[in-house]
Amino acid sequence: MALLEIVTYPEKILSRPTRLIENIDGDIQYLIENMAHTMYQAPGVGLAAIQVGINKSLMVYDISPKDKERSLQVLINPRIVSSEGSLLSEDEGCLSVPDFRSDVKRAAAITVEGVDRNEKPVRIDAEGFLAIVLQHEIDHLNGILFIDRISALKRGIYKRKVFKNLKRK
């Protein structure tokens, strides 16, 4: 398995919606394995293909507690088909937005549809942490970062910090 490089803000690819996957072949299975390896090593609880520079509608996630057995989940071409309520995702972070965390308003309950790695249809009714993770990763697939969902003031502070650090390099 290969450890993939995680693309970070302000890379333009992160703001582009991904392409649907039409054929789940060996290359996609290999990508899934490499993404899972990368997510666990980072460490993170979710990773979208666009975060490793691959323009495909694919995400992996695992919200199992660290002291429990891993339970990798794969969603291909996922979409949120319904949402209700709201909650505050406290201290949300992202592998593509390093060294920054913020509260983000999210839907409290969502229903997601897609297919798994074996091309079987999947429908997930999610609340709480699972709903937050699914919304966060599906946002990536739609070209949205969590910093796009916070106040302009907080986003501006982070952007200035990033660009200041880029100038130093």
Residues with a catalytic annotation lie at 137
Coil, strand or helix at 84: strand
**Residues shown for the chain:** 169
d(CA 58, CA 114): 10
Distance in angstroms (rounded) separating the CA atoms of residues 72 and 120: 16
Whole-number Cα distances in Å, 118 to 32, 115, 122, 141: 12, 8, 10, 20
Coil vs helix vs strand at 156: helix
**How crowded is residue 166: how many other Cβ atoms within 10 Å of its Cβ?**
9
